[in-house]
Structure 1
Amino acid sequence: MHHYRTDSMLALACGIFAPSAAFAQAIDIDDPIQPAEAIIVTGSRGLERTVADSPVPVDVFSEEAINSVSFTDTNDVLKTLVPSYTVSRQPISDGSSFIRPASMRGLPTDKTLVLVNSKRRHRAALVTIGGSGTQGPDIATIPTISLASVEVLRDGAAAQYGSDAIAGVINFLLKDDPHGVDLEAEIGEFYEGDGFEYKFAGNIGLPLGDMGFINLSAEYSNADSTNRAQQYCESFFCVTEYAALPGNEDYAAAVEGIDTIQPWGRPSGEAVRTFVNAGYELSAAAEVYAFGNYSWSTSTTNFFYRYPANGTIEDLRLEDGSIYNPTERFPGGFTPLFSGDVEDYSALGGIRGDISSAFSYDFSLRYGRSEISYLLENTINPSLGPESPTSFKPGDLINDELQFQADFMLTHDVGLASEIALAFGGTYFEEGYETVEGELASYHAGPFGSPDPFDFCNTDGTPTLAGSSLSFSAGLNCADPADPVYQVVGVGSNGFPGYSPEFSGSYDRDSYSFYGNIGADVTDRLFLEGALRFENYSDFDSQLIYKVAGRFEILDGLGIRASHGTGFRAPTPGQQGTTNVSTRIPNGFPVATGLFPASSAIAAALGAVPLEPETSTNWTAGISGAFGGLTYSIDYYRIELEDRLQARSTITVVDDCIPSTPEIDSECIGFRGRMIDAGVAGAQSIGGVFYFQNLFDTVTQGVDIVLSYSQSWSGGTSGLVAAINYNETEFDGDVPAQFNAEDQYDFLNAEPNWRAVFTATHETGPFNFLARANYYGPYSNSDGAGGPLISQDFDSELLIDVEASYTWRDMLTLSIGARNVFDNYPEPGEFEVCCGRIYRSDSIVDWQGGYYYARLRASF
């Protein structure tokens, strides 16, 4: 176990049990360009395989490769190394500004299984609002200094690892060194002179007697915000024009000297990340192991600017008949500030060993928890009028998981080229999601959430007894529908209303599963493997899925491989139970838009049905091998995804009813009344509603090409890596009217089909040089708000990174470099970029510009 046993059963267990890094790092990972003979632990629960002879495509990124990327966020490190992995910067996107959703092979991040030391990683508390409602692990909580390597399995593997492994598996393997200290400090800033960032990190390995180890990692980072905006000036409101109008002197004074009323850029953030990994050998045949983490981060972004008379800042008639306007408190309007504190921790412990030379076991128990606490400042609850506070705690989101897992492996010699390896086991899994109620003022419906709150007017437009005197003293005109007495404004902390008691609570479920995996080298050139898995969820029917895979060595250095399997993904408790009301700006005007559970009475009134699992059929076929210093793989993949989960297009809420549509089996539904009856806070002011559904089927297919070459010269060693991905998604069958034409177009075209990363390295003496090119192919985006669908085509982009390093006595390494060294930006957006925005903020092409940095590493 760990570094203390070298018998063959240790290596065998590494390949079978999905063990912790205490076992996994028996391979040489000194070369950042992984050799074909590097042993992998991900992708096969059978005899150990190498990268070159794996029956499925697996990328291995060493510690050196990870360290060659200057990003603090592990999400950004992955997107730099893996072309099919993408992540975007999403300001003004509720919790997605703090926990960024990613995708692999064009599928949302919750369809990629994330492992740490080959054990399932718990999900984050955030359910992305809109899109597929992604709820996956927060990869940013894993500090890069804790990692020995990362293995990326680019193939469906749900039959082997369980739900979520539809697009692939990412396995983060922690350092397990019992000795040594690594320290790191880095500073950097964008060319624009903002976004200053610094990071300090450390890792230490300590022995536990002669038979164990404990490896500790910690990281602290701090980043200032960036701003890539222009001044707010649109057809519906322009800051400079409004400030110049007669009578707006107070407004002009309030905004004087502010370059951009509404920033667009990266949020500010501060984070502490820690990880511990440990193991101890009890005997020659048994070892205990444990690992866990604690992470805390806080980040602040902004929402849309609220300008005077935009539906939030409006004249209101108070109980004494006088007129109140929020500009009395915010003369220049206001831009809400939104902060999120994210706390994430986990612990896993287990015991594993050998019962005999042919039979091994691994028992583990895991707990993980993620919590987001929100804070909203510089805003109001408009319905409270002058009594509104300006800061709010709208509530918390919590996701926690508990899992017990048992894995076994049995080997038997039946006369084939290798022993047959039979891996089998089971797991019991509990998971829960909780929406914690916000403070009262964050969701409370004040008097101005309804028209005429003080009963000044009769329905026929005449004043009541209470309003009669005000007709003369305060200018009340009940016959004028524009009189402030009828003004209705939003309920709840503006920008992000708090979670009310009616929409707070816990959603829990449990599941159990059993799996079996068998594989062997049938001949010296043919490897075959098969897997079967049964899963049962308390809230869904059971699932039986399978996978078969194989590789045939045609010639030395040339092999063909293929796999076929099925998979599934059960909607999470969060996706089934999350509720959110947020402010959106569809045409520059703020609209409160509500997301409600598909199983709720509100969504059911619009034709929603309870969610079902997504199911998939996966195919891969390719070639792989190595010649001299060249390692290559070319793999085609096809993912047929049925009952795909997606947010339906937003429904505009009218005052009285929603006319009959094909999805609503009635002539007219008084939907706003239904929301009021259901106790929805702010029902009078909610202008849009949507919910998640299993909307349609898709086919995603593409090609991955990975080429790596290394060569030693008299002057040093050079390496080249080309990683290229082509990916496209199409609808399979009819798409319901619930998903409109604009959403359909953007779903298929808003991300590039082509992505590639080309990396060149050269080492000579104490000097190291790196150049990396990130290529994004063309893409397109549509707009249908003004009538017929129109689109904008975006050209391809090439972003170049460079770095030079000097190492002194194998102890200190100083690196100086730049990302996007030529300061390239994507093309400005032509539409859906209102309110001071220049670039599409949801673009996966980075729009922050060039960034330069310096880094110092010390190893002892």
Structure 2
Amino acid sequence: MDTKEMKRLLAVSVSTAMLAATMSAGTAYAQDNDDSADNDEIITIGTRRTQRSAADTPAPVDVISGVEFTRNAADDVQDLLRTSVPSFNINTQPISDAASIVRPANLRGLSPDQTLVLLNGKRRHRGSVISFLGGGISDGAQGVDISAIPSIALKQVEVLRDGASSQYGSDAIAGVLNFVLKDSPEGGTVEFKYGSTYAGDGDNFRVSGNVGLPLGDQGFVSLSAEYGETDGTVRSVIRDDVRSLVAAGNNAAGDFLTINTFTDEVPQYWGQPDVKDDIKLFINSALELSDNAEVYAFGNYASRTVEGGFFYRNPTNRGGVYAGPLVDANGNLDPNGGASVRVGDLDGLGVGGSCPAGIPLNGLIPDATITGQVVGDPNCFSFIETIPGGFVPRFGGENEDYGVSLGLRGEIGLGDGLTYDLSVTHGRNKTDFFIGNTVNASLGPNTPRDFNPGGQQQTEIILNADFAYLLPTGMASDLSIAFGGEYREETFDLFQGDAASFALGPLADQGFSSSSNGFGGFANNSSATQDSYALYTELEADVTDQLTVQGALRYEDYTAFGDTLDYKIAALFKVNDSLRFRGSHSTAFHAPTAGQANITNVTTQNVGGVLVDQGTVPLSSAAGQLAADFIQATFGDRPTLGPEDAEVFTAGMAFDAGPTNWTIDFYHIDVADRIALGANVDFLAALQNAGATSTTVSAALTELSNNGTINRSDFTGFEDLSEYRFFSNSFDTRTKGVDVVGRYPFDFMNGSSALTVAANYNKTDVTNVGTINPINATRVSNLEDQLPNWKGFVQWSHEDGKWRTLLRANYYGQWDDVGNGFPDRSSELLVDAEIGYEVVSGVNFVIGASNLFDNFPDENPDAGSLGQLYPEAAPTGFTGGQYYGKIRINF
């Protein structure tokens, strides 16, 4: 039995075992599946004062029940959040390198790593993927892999819509997401789901289960498991260049004239990637040791394989593989000649027999005579010999995630004694990449077609000591004094790829690109570690029956980036039982990750319709310091990498109007010195600034190496790059917005209904593009306009005996894709519907549709140029309508 079969059997067996355990556990009661969420919900974020409800906190906190998450065609928790939290955005990543494997998400239009993610109140470890292709908004971000969390394991999700670095540390600029696991000692759920798209692709299924079991007389164990798969979709069109090639007589390119999702005959794999063997296992447990001590543990294991694709490589003009120099009719170099297909001299230039510099193109067809000479000469080689129709790389990765938290909490002394929570958390996320149907062009005819480029891994260890004490002061409530400390260590590892994935082959000095085309392999194993220490205190009290005041202060010291001191002051004023005002002012920060400070990568970007290889190096590396020297010589200042700082203001109100309740909250977020991948640096110019006089990168590297200026081995894998970049502190932004949430419960027919309205307005402006290595106009446009300013939903839910129904209209406002030449994208309205029926006690049949009316974003007006029917950045996605059916069994 292979590994994948073992994983599938494990997931199904766990679900079955949980079902059997539930049935054999004697009397069991159904878990509370009420999906109503109101302001009386007890929350665990935004305050360290125990037993606080969302209505009594100075900061806005949304509470989403776990059951509400299941009312959608999507399985990924991030897609479920998109329809539950108006300011949360996530889109499909069809051709985005590693970002297709761990998708970047945005809260309030900010970067994924500017949102803190907690699990049961403990900091969640980051994903291993850095999003180099993040649509401009998420470029360079290293966020948390939220997809590893199964929705069936969740009791609720708490969304703190406020800056909270003074309370929780780095990243809490846009807000905090706290995923709370189920904690019942009894009951359970098993669910089977199947769905597909209206187009007939994207088939998906999932089997999942949760069971709560007693642990002794005073404890519980909650087990959750999920296994599923999702087929990819194809939303591409026949490319114009493919049509032209076939029309001109390139019959081999005819393989790309058919769109077939079940074969490799597609213009390119552009759509939702394939997700295979998606396994998620979770455990949550606690046991009382005494009246004032409890030990707890929770953790997870998850793995999945994600596979997508890249752009089509045209056999006449793909740089580094096919594209040759200007030549005359005989294939000789001629600055006034025509385009050609590149030819390699296998025994080296100037050695033995010579080869044409290129095969002239007669329109789009290589000259037959010169082609015959190349084919007939074993010393000459061109890729039109072996891959005459072009090729489409297939890229993906195997992702593995695990984490565990162990802790002891309780109270020292009886009554209002000192409470404590001591914990250790360990987490790891690893991605092993693979790429197929591509080449390392510099290896010529000896290139493999499939490569293992290596992998990335993020590992974190966190130690927490949290204490709280209630001090009588004569105010309306005791003064809650919380204090504690945290130690966090994170390590980012790069794993070397196979030799061919990064090799600089014998044809590299003849213009053929090195490394696996599309995603170059990592040339070396490397590991980088950074740690931080933090101390904090938080005070909160009801000064009067109407006024609650909160203050927090946190000091944090990073070994790599220095220290920071952040604060927060907040207040809640209750005019009466029906009207409250609240507001806060805080500072926040986001420190660079070990990965951002030390990543080395080569990726292929679409720049103005042309595919360009771009490298990323650490600022601290030899190549990074060459670039820094060049930038200093150009701009007068030297780039640095350190924490970004933020200042956050919020002001809002909550009120009841008859049976309805509403919250309206304004926010203002200034972020300075944002961590960014700066503009690309001309590699040759940087080398010439260091003293080289040569006019090619390869020759300049050799020259500087020979005179002792550099060590050429420091540039392995970058020898044929024309430009590269690095992380540094760059630009400033200002984000303003408002959140509105309202709920109206009412009786309808013979049942009970609830109408929920939620809307978000969000606008980000780049206030400073940066003076050192500034971001370009396209990046500015993406940051400011690529997400809709308006987003929200109206939802009607109804229960009547055995029937449950839901109808939700999701609105996405107008947005721009100026960076790709498509401004003024239309607003969209997507409708979801679901109906469930309890056929027997505890057994429910559910059918539903997401995007009921099969709505799509505006089509790209020049879709044929790159084969993209819809814009990649569409906030609605571009899969179209999806239907699904579920069988849910509650015990």
TM-score by length of 2: 0.84
Segments of 5+ residues of structure 1 without an aligned counterpart are 1-27, 452-487, 785-789
Summarize the Cα distance change of 1:448–1:55 in structure 2 as closer, same or farther, 3 Å threshold. Answer: same
Summarize the Cα distance change of 1:255–1:578 in structure 2 as closer, same or farther, 3 Å threshold. Answer: same
2:775 aligns with 739
Following TM superposition, by how much is the alpha carbon of 1:529 offset from its aligned partner in structure 2, in angstroms? 0.7
CA RMSD of aligned residues (A): 2.3
Amino acid at match of 1:490: S
Say which is worse superposed, 625-634 or 48-57, in terms of deviation. Answer: 625-634
Summarize the Cα distance change of 1:697–1:765 in structure 2 as closer, same or farther, 3 Å threshold. Answer: same
Whether the aligned pair in 1 keeps the contact of 2:424 and 2:462 (CA below 8 Å) is yes
Q: 1:642 aligns with which of 672, 677, 701?
A: 672
Whether the aligned pair in 1 keeps the contact of 2:72 and 2:832 (CA below 8 Å) is no
Whether the aligned pair in 2 keeps the contact of 1:450 and 1:684 (CA below 8 Å) is no
- Deviations, residues 125-178 of structure 1 (Å, cap 9, x unaligned): 111115441111100000001001100000001101111111100000001111
Q: 1:119 aligns with which of 110, 119, 122?
A: 122
Amino acid at match of 1:769: T
SS class of match (2:55): coil
Following TM superposition, by how much is the alpha carbon of 1:760 offset from its aligned partner in structure 2, in angstroms? 0.8
Summarize the Cα distance change of 1:256–1:273 in structure 2 as closer, same or farther, 3 Å threshold. Answer: closer
Following TM superposition, by how much is the alpha carbon of 1:832 offset from its aligned partner in structure 2, in angstroms? 9.0
Whether the aligned pair in 2 keeps the contact of 1:431 and 1:510 (CA below 8 Å) is yes
1:383 aligns with 442
2:616 aligns with 595
* Counterparts of residues 738-817 of structure 1 (less than 5 Å): 738-783=774-819, 792-817=823-848
Q: Aligned equivalents of 2:604 and 2:660: distance in 1? A: 53
Summarize the Cα distance change of 1:673–1:576 in structure 2 as closer, same or farther, 3 Å threshold. Answer: farther
- Deviations, residues 528-569 of structure 1 (Å, cap 9, x unaligned): 110010111111111111101110011221010001111111
Amino acid at match of 1:695: S
Following TM superposition, by how much is the alpha carbon of 1:582 offset from its aligned partner in structure 2, in angstroms? 1.3
- Deviations, residues 265-311 of structure 1 (Å, cap 9, x unaligned): 00001210110001111111111000000000001111111121322
* Counterparts of residues 124-273 of structure 1 (less than 5 Å): 124-130=127-133, 131=136, 132-233=139-240, 238-246=241-249, 248-252=250-254, 260-270=266-276, 271-273=278-280
Q: What is the aligned residue count?
A: 781
1:16 aligns with none
Amino acid at match of 1:40: I
Amino acid at match of 1:731: V
Q: Aligned equivalents of 2:56 and 2:718: distance in 1? A: 60
Amino acid at match of 1:352: R
Following TM superposition, by how much is the alpha carbon of 1:847 offset from its aligned partner in structure 2, in angstroms? 1.0
Amino acid at match of 1:37: D
Whether the aligned pair in 2 keeps the contact of 1:560 and 1:623 (CA below 8 Å) is yes
Say which is worse superposed, 579-588 or 256-265, in terms of deviation. Answer: 256-265
Say which is worse superposed, 531-540 or 829-838, in terms of deviation. Answer: 829-838
Whether the aligned pair in 2 keeps the contact of 1:33 and 1:721 (CA below 8 Å) is no
* 1:55 matched to 2:58: yes
Following TM superposition, by how much is the alpha carbon of 1:327 offset from its aligned partner in structure 2, in angstroms? 3.6
1:345 aligns with 402
Following TM superposition, by how much is the alpha carbon of 1:683 offset from its aligned partner in structure 2, in angstroms? 3.9
Following TM superposition, by how much is the alpha carbon of 1:189 offset from its aligned partner in structure 2, in angstroms? 0.7
- Deviations, residues 237-265 of structure 1 (Å, cap 9, x unaligned): x212212324x344447867866321310
Q: Aligned equivalents of 1:830 and 1:249: distance in 2? A: 27
* 1:629 matched to 2:686: no
Following TM superposition, by how much is the alpha carbon of 1:734 offset from its aligned partner in structure 2, in angstroms? 5.6
Whether the aligned pair in 1 keeps the contact of 2:268 and 2:312 (CA below 8 Å) is yes
SS class of match (1:89): coil
Q: Aligned equivalents of 1:667 and 1:387: distance in 2? A: 34
Amino acid at match of 1:335: V
SS class of match (2:674): strand
1:443 aligns with 502
1:555 aligns with 576
2:593 aligns with 572
SS class of match (2:86): coil
* 1:335 matched to 2:392: yes
- Deviations, residues 28-65 of structure 1 (Å, cap 9, x unaligned): 97542312222211111124322222211100011221
Q: 2:874 aligns with which of 831, 843, 846?
A: 843
Whether the aligned pair in 1 keeps the contact of 2:238 and 2:864 (CA below 8 Å) is no
Q: 2:546 aligns with which of 510, 525, 542?
A: 525
Summarize the Cα distance change of 1:672–1:253 in structure 2 as closer, same or farther, 3 Å threshold. Answer: closer
Say which is worse superposed, 582-591 or 593-602, in terms of deviation. Answer: 582-591
Following TM superposition, by how much is the alpha carbon of 1:857 offset from its aligned partner in structure 2, in angstroms? 0.4
Summarize the Cα distance change of 1:209–1:231 in structure 2 as closer, same or farther, 3 Å threshold. Answer: same
Say which is worse superposed, 731-740 or 846-855, in terms of deviation. Answer: 731-740
SS class of match (1:125): coil
* 1:689 matched to 2:717: no
2:412 aligns with 355
* 1:287 matched to 2:287: no
Say which is worse superposed, 556-565 or 607-616, in terms of deviation. Answer: 607-616
Whether the aligned pair in 2 keeps the contact of 1:36 and 1:625 (CA below 8 Å) is no
Following TM superposition, by how much is the alpha carbon of 1:368 offset from its aligned partner in structure 2, in angstroms? 0.3
Q: Aligned equivalents of 2:834 and 2:195: distance in 1? A: 13
Q: 1:534 aligns with which of 523, 531, 555?
A: 555
SS class of match (2:564): strand
* 1:494 matched to 2:525: no
* Counterparts of residues 411-560 of structure 1 (less than 5 Å): 411-451=470-510, 488-501=511-524, 504-560=525-581
1:478 aligns with none
Following TM superposition, by how much is the alpha carbon of 1:428 offset from its aligned partner in structure 2, in angstroms? 1.1
* Counterparts of residues 602-751 of structure 1 (less than 5 Å): 602-606=623-627, 607=631, 609-651=639-681, 678-679=712-713, 680-713=715-748, 715-733=750-768, 735-736=770-771, 738-751=774-787
Give % identity: 39
Following TM superposition, by how much is the alpha carbon of 1:762 offset from its aligned partner in structure 2, in angstroms? 1.1
Q: Aligned equivalents of 2:475 and 2:864: distance in 1? A: 63
SS class of match (1:384): helix
Whether the aligned pair in 1 keeps the contact of 2:687 and 2:701 (CA below 8 Å) is no
Q: Aligned equivalents of 1:164 and 1:674: distance in 2? A: 41
Amino acid at match of 2:211: I
SS class of match (2:453): coil
Summarize the Cα distance change of 1:568–1:668 in structure 2 as closer, same or farther, 3 Å threshold. Answer: farther
Segments of 5+ residues of structure 2 without an aligned counterpart are 1-30, 323-341, 354-376, 632-637, 706-711
SS class of match (1:394): strand
- Deviations, residues 63-116 of structure 1 (Å, cap 9, x unaligned): 221122231111101111001010111111111011000010111111111000
Summarize the Cα distance change of 1:605–1:250 in structure 2 as closer, same or farther, 3 Å threshold. Answer: same
- Deviations, residues 636-662 of structure 1 (Å, cap 9, x unaligned): 001111111122233455x677899xx
* 1:307 matched to 2:338: no
Say which is worse superposed, 563-572 or 131-140, in terms of deviation. Answer: 131-140
TM-score by length of 1: 0.87
Q: Aligned equivalents of 1:658 and 1:782: distance in 2? A: 34
2:365 aligns with none
Q: Aligned equivalents of 1:52 and 1:58: distance in 2? A: 8
Q: Aligned equivalents of 1:171 and 1:90: distance in 2? A: 25
Following TM superposition, by how much is the alpha carbon of 1:689 offset from its aligned partner in structure 2, in angstroms? 1.7
Summarize the Cα distance change of 1:668–1:417 in structure 2 as closer, same or farther, 3 Å threshold. Answer: farther
- Deviations, residues 187-224 of structure 1 (Å, cap 9, x unaligned): 11111110000011011111112121111101001011
Whether the aligned pair in 2 keeps the contact of 1:110 and 1:135 (CA below 8 Å) is yes
Q: Aligned equivalents of 2:464 and 2:885: distance in 1? A: 44
Q: Aligned equivalents of 1:550 and 1:713: distance in 2? A: 38
Whether the aligned pair in 2 keeps the contact of 1:565 and 1:618 (CA below 8 Å) is yes
